[in-house]
Structure 1
Amino acid sequence: SPPSGRYPCGPAQTSPLPVLPGPSQTPAGEEPTPRLSRSRRPWPLLPETDPPPQDAPAPGSPASPLFSLSLLLFGGYRRVSRKNVLGHAARSTLYREIGRRPGSDIAALAGATGINENTLRYHIVKLVETGTIITFVRPGVVRYFPNQGRYSPFEQVLIHYILNDTPCAILQFLSHCQGMTRQELANALDISGPSVSRQMEGLIADGVVENRSDGRSNHYFLTKDAYRALKSLADGEPAILQHPAHAGENYPCLLEETARGPVAALALDPPRIPGT
């Protein structure tokens, strides 16, 4: 048994919390920490998430004593708002890239900017939280657009398909050859008929393609809205036509002879298949 008056783990003891010296005024840009009585004063608050080191607004590196002291004194990092969100170099770079290539996803942005994906995701969250950019979500992908009202919901859908190889190729063939059948598209794309059908389900549901039947076969056409949107993008958004992996090259479905000529000509009077 333990000696008299002694315990295996010792009696519970408490010690007063340390009082950190520092200025009594809150610096500009920081939120003051509520003052509580000493007996109820909590430990200094830390950020809800751990932002990348370069996001620290205080001077000096995050490892410096000055940075650590300011973090403890003022309860964390400066609050990011719509007014200062682009004051950070990485976020400013991301915003410019999203404006240059609307509809980019995380992988495309990381490749274009050289920013680590984990760091990039943190900054993307801040841009979304402050309403600087908006998201376009489809299964397996999240795309980002500037929040300027520049792109209609339908144009965002169309850009989503342009940034996918098979749907983009379908747009290419239908802009040249209206009324292609499933088998003709399968042969042209070197994919199976069921694969064409799966792609068409989304394109038809989103109003990009319409299906007309002549009683024997189904024939696919670009809708008038798709023509108009393609022409608008070709005329005003040349950067969208470039594949991010091949700078200077164009998407096959939006080459000059594809987007400007046939789209402008066919938008007013799409051809009809025989017998309809």
Structure 2
Amino acid sequence: MVRWSRISSILLAAVVLAGIALPGTAAARYTVEPVTEEYTGEWHDFEENTFWDLSPRGMLLHFLLAVLPGVPYIGELFYALSLLASLGFRRITRRTVLDDDFRLGLYRQIAANPGAGAGELGELTGASRGRLRYHLDTLIREGKVAAVDYRSRTGLFARNQRYTDLEQRILISLREEPSRAVLGCLLGSPDAIRNDVAEQLGLSGPTISRHMQEFEVEGIVTVERDGRFVRYRLSKGAREYLDRHAGDVPFPGNPSMERCPTARGREVPMG
């Protein structure tokens, strides 16, 4: 401690002596005089020097200065991912998406119940809403399942099962009441009128009219005016599909489905 104190004292003394011995630098006096002549040189404004104005070497230098500070963080990210992988996590791909037992079972339920919605699949699998939503999104993202929006509902279909747009609309309609009952009644009675369908199904006339109008717009049902009556029939495509898959259609009482009564001549307002 005493030694460093002596060295400091010697250095301080040397600085003072140098200041005294060199008056031209330490103690010099300066005289400030006003400029009497105007500056005749050119004035230059500053111009912005963009990245693209630099030379290739300058561009490379700027790029390295911008990227190199972040390199350690990228390395840390890969290191953290490698730790997660070692704990059993792995990336889900189209080839591995069905390796999960629950996801495989969910996919099979969708294939067995085409057009089913998330609520119905939740009842079939017993999964919570959050868990079901996550796995459905995963199956859709990886291209195993297709989600079709129709009549304020979303029907789910396995991608390996090919359906036309009309068939998808029919299958989604068959997953809910009273649409399923209405289609079943029309399949059993091709020329039904509104009051007959309403009486058979226990529904109101306006409810039947609303469903028939929607089915007509969607190409599932055709509406024909017969004098004072309005008759409803399945469209050609809808009947052909339902006839081919009559044993698989989830109608009440299927396969021995009761037929709707034939039209008895009641007058039905148009619509």
Distance in 2, matches of 1:45 and 1:73, equals 14
1:203-222 to 2 correspondences below 5 Å: 203-222=215-234
- Larger radius of gyration between Structure 1 and Structure 2: 2
Q: Which residue of 2 aligns with 1:6?
A: none
Compare the two structures and name the one with the higher helix fraction.
Answer: 2
Distance in 2, matches of 1:197 and 1:45, equals 61
Q: Which residue of 2 aligns with 1:268?
A: none
Q: Which amino acid aligns with 2:167?
A: E
Query: How many Å apart are 1:109 and its aligned residue?
Result: 1.1
Unaligned ranges ≥5, structure 1: 1-35, 47-66, 242-250, 263-272
- Structure 1 pair 224–69 and aligned structure 2 pair: CA distance change class (3 A): closer
2:103 to 91, 115, 119: 91
1:1-276 to 2 correspondences below 5 Å: 37=68, 40-42=71-73, 70-71=83-84, 78-235=90-247, 238=248, 240-241=249-250, 251-252=251-252, 255-258=254-257
Q: Which residue of 1 aligns with 2:51?
A: none
Partner SS for 1:42: helix
Distance in 1, matches of 2:102 and 2:83, equals 23
Runs of 4+ in 1 over 6 A off after TM superposition: none
Distance in 2, matches of 1:155 and 1:69, equals 46
Unaligned ranges ≥5, structure 2: 1-66, 260-264, 266-271
Distance in 2, matches of 1:42 and 1:100, equals 48
Q: Which residue of 2 aligns with 1:29?
A: none
Query: How many Å apart are 1:103 and its aligned residue?
Result: 1.4
Partner SS for 1:198: helix
- Structure 1 pair 216–84 and aligned structure 2 pair: CA distance change class (3 A): same
Distance in 2, matches of 1:256 and 1:73, equals 54
Q: Deviations over 1:40-77 (max 9, x none)?
A: 5438669xxxxxxxxxxxxxxxxxxxx99823999x95
Q: Which amino acid aligns with 2:170?
A: L
- Structure 1 pair 154–139 and aligned structure 2 pair: CA distance change class (3 A): closer
Distance in 2, matches of 1:150 and 1:157, equals 13
Query: How many Å apart are 1:38 and its aligned residue?
Result: 5.5
Tell me the TM-score normalised to structure 1 length.
0.61
Contact 1:45–1:72 at 8 Å: present in 2 too? Answer: no
Partner SS for 1:234: coil
Q: Which amino acid aligns with 2:83?
A: S
Q: Deviations over 1:161-188 (max 9, x none)?
A: 1112111111222222222222222222
Distance in 1, matches of 2:82 and 2:170, equals 50
Q: Deviations over 1:111-170 (max 9, x none)?
A: 111221111111111111111011121243211111014322222111111112111111
Query: How many Å apart are 1:198 and its aligned residue?
Result: 1.0
Q: Which residue of 2 aligns with 1:64?
A: none
Contact 1:182–1:196 at 8 Å: present in 2 too? Answer: yes
Partner SS for 2:73: coil
How many residue pairs match? The answer is 193
- Structure 1 pair 256–151 and aligned structure 2 pair: CA distance change class (3 A): same
